[in-house]
Amino acid sequence: MLSEVLLVSAPGKVILHGEHAVVHGKIALAVALNLRTFLRLQPHSNGKMCLNLPNIGVKRAWDVARLQLQDTSFLEPGNATGDAAAPTSEQVEKLKEVAGIPKDGADPECLAVLAFLYLYLSICRKQRTLPSLDITVWSELPTGAGLGSSAAYSVCLAAALLTACEAIPNPQNNGESASRWTMEDLELINKWAFQGERMIHGNPSGVDNTISTWGGALRYQQGKISSIKRLPALKILLTNTKVPRSTKALVASVRSRLLKFPEIVAPLLTSINAISLECERTLEEMASAPAPEHYLVLEELIDINQHHLNALGVGHASLDQLCQVTMAHGLHSKLTGAGGGGCGITLLRPDLEQPKVEAMKQALTSCGFDCWETRIGAPGISIHSAASLDTQVQRALDGL
């Protein structure tokens, strides 16, 4: 068992193109977002397992000796390779008992605690005794906005627990500000993170935890995930309209529109697939020789896809407002994720002057939206030296 403090971070994600079409077997392009979730793991000898999640107001502590006495055989096959089957409803109920969570507890706070306990007990029970740890997780990502916050949480937990229990080596060398694990270790982190995501979402696609583990960009189609090897440095403005929506209801409404008008809606889905392919081709070209005309192509694809998504019925007045405000500043936006509110992305060209960006952010903020300037194609799960983290992150992890 390692005795040093571990600091890890993992990125969120946005869908560039392919949302909704992906449900019907088309391609989706997902990219890692440089808004990150940070975790600090501190080993203790106080006999307590403490979990602190300041973003959602969770502070829990368990007596390690009591957890040790719990029959955790129900976690089989919690083998060290993370190749377990999906947790059964019986396993989830037993875990709720152990966690002291009510049977009907399904709010984000309960699910976050459940995912933590599942990973802690599964990964750490290989130790002679369960370790006393103090774990704090803080995120730059808003929760429930379709930006992969739960996956970044699960990836951070898996990486930190596997490293602390020495199932994988600590990749950090002295003096390095940030380090990555080997491909083989990242595979193991990803498998366990997927198990954590299953505790939270039941039947996730695996896209969110994969992009958070590996970083960069990937394409997803019918369960197959492959990475896009080369990606240009692109800046975007991410806007959260803060309008709540139900992904389930929006997916169902697209399905019923497809059944009602198959000859109208199926070509829209085929066209969205072609947009994803064209975008991928353009990004790969830009990675080797970026030119201003590439940005024009990306902007046109954004506009066409946003119109298609409106035609599928997943737009919203708040997203129309976002598109109008950014268009007034000569920029192009589309929804990302489920639609019906939620988040949108705006491409920021490299020739854009900062005062223009600030004016646009001001206009969006006055609509009641939250905005972040960020990069896409960010690195995946990383381990950091304390000195490399900026003051805001340090203070958040210290609970200040």
Annotated catalytic sites, by residue?
150, 208
φ, ψ dihedrals at 287, nearest 5°: -60, -30
Residue 284 to residue 29: CA distance in whole angstroms: 13
Q: Quick one: tokens of 239?
A: 């806007």
Q: Quick one: tokens of 171?
A: 């990749």
Asked if residue 77 has a cis previous peptide bond (ω within 30° of 0), the answer is yes
Question: Is residue 169 helix, strand or coil?
Answer: coil
Residue 313, burial from CB neighbour count under 10 angstroms (0-12, 13-18, 19+): middle
- Centre a 10 Å sphere on the Cβ of residue 270 and count the other Cβ atoms it contains: 13
Residue 275 to residue 286: CA distance in whole angstroms: 16
Region of 377 please: left (phi>0), alpha (psi -120 to 50) or beta.
left
Helix (H) or strand (E) holding 346: strand 343-348
Number of residues assigned to the chain: 400
φ, ψ dihedrals at 91, nearest 5°: -65, -40
Q: Do the Cβ atoms of 134 and 50 come closer than 8 Å?
A: yes
Residue 34 to residue 92: CA distance in whole angstroms: 32
Q: Identify the CA nearest to 72 among candidates 59, 84, 56, 57.
A: 84
Residue 168 to residue 205: CA distance in whole angstroms: 25
Q: Quick one: tokens of 209?
A: 């935890």
Q: Which residues pair with 9 in a beta bridge?
A: 38, 382
DSSP summary character for residue 343: E
Q: Do the Cβ atoms of 374 and 238 come closer than 8 Å?
A: yes
φ, ψ dihedrals at 348, nearest 5°: -105, 110
Q: Identify the CA nearest to 117 among candidates 91, 142, 146.
A: 91
